[in-house]
Amino acid sequence: MNDESTGSEALIQAGASSRPSLPRAARGERFAPRAALVTGASRGLGAALARELARQGAKVVLVARERVALEAVAAEIAAQGGEAHALAADIGDKGQTHAIAGAAAALVGPIDLLIHNASTLGKTPLPILLDTECEDLGRVLEVNVVGPFRLTKVIAGAMALRRRGVVVHISSDASVNAYPRWGAYGASKAALDHLSRTWAAELEGTGVSFYAVDPGEMNTRMHAEAIPDADPSTLADPADVARRVVGLVGRAGEVPSGARVEAARLPEAP
């Protein structure tokens, strides 16, 4: 085994050795994101997160493939006095990763909050695993796991250098429970949860916190595509979930990095 540290390991060790004597939470400080990047922000929870973050004063970059819907959300936020920028891109396309990160930083400055909300169910109606095409599984993993991994690689190092940042992975109860026909999606979210925990372990002491949040069942188009017979009145409002996720972000450092939490158990943002 080589005892020499790689460049990234040296960065982490330097960050850990220079950490302040008390964490932010112990000093009575809340984490107030200045520049946020939210994927899957053209609708549902992603759009609600962008609205809430802008309401809290963050400059927000919205990423999704659907340009028209994305620009409508950004325009809505701007009309209410917030700052939001639409960036049409595919998180599952490796060739777009650096372009997304670079454009986001150019628009709002160094990203200190990254929320991985974009995801895909794969084919609907959801098939059992025996009927799931390998290519369809690959696409689900590419969007739900590999894409977030690539974007975090590009952004988290700079967060560590600045000793400031939060990364949130939007998870699912399908990551811990085996539901028939949810195999591809559930496997991708389980992998995403573990990535979040590993990022947290490897970047401990750098000032960057990682969280996986199970939003619960929400009244969204994705839920309707998966379970068309569900009663919308029994589902959570994405705006309520967004307030709880943003509340968690504000408590970064108080909640241990690497935690997996259920949104329904979180308090709302003030």
What amino acid positions are annotated as catalytic residues?
171, 185, 189
In the sheet that holds 83-88, the strands lie side by side as 83-88, 59-64, 35-39, 113-116, 165-170, 208-214, 260-262
User: 155-165 as b/e, with b when 16 or more CB fall inside 10 Å?
Assistant: bbbbbbbeebb
Distance of CA 136 to the CA centre of its chain: 22
CA distance 167 to 208: 8
**Cis, bond preceding 125 (omega within 30 deg of 0):** yes
Residue in the structure block whose two tokens are 């609600």? 48
DSSP state of 265: G
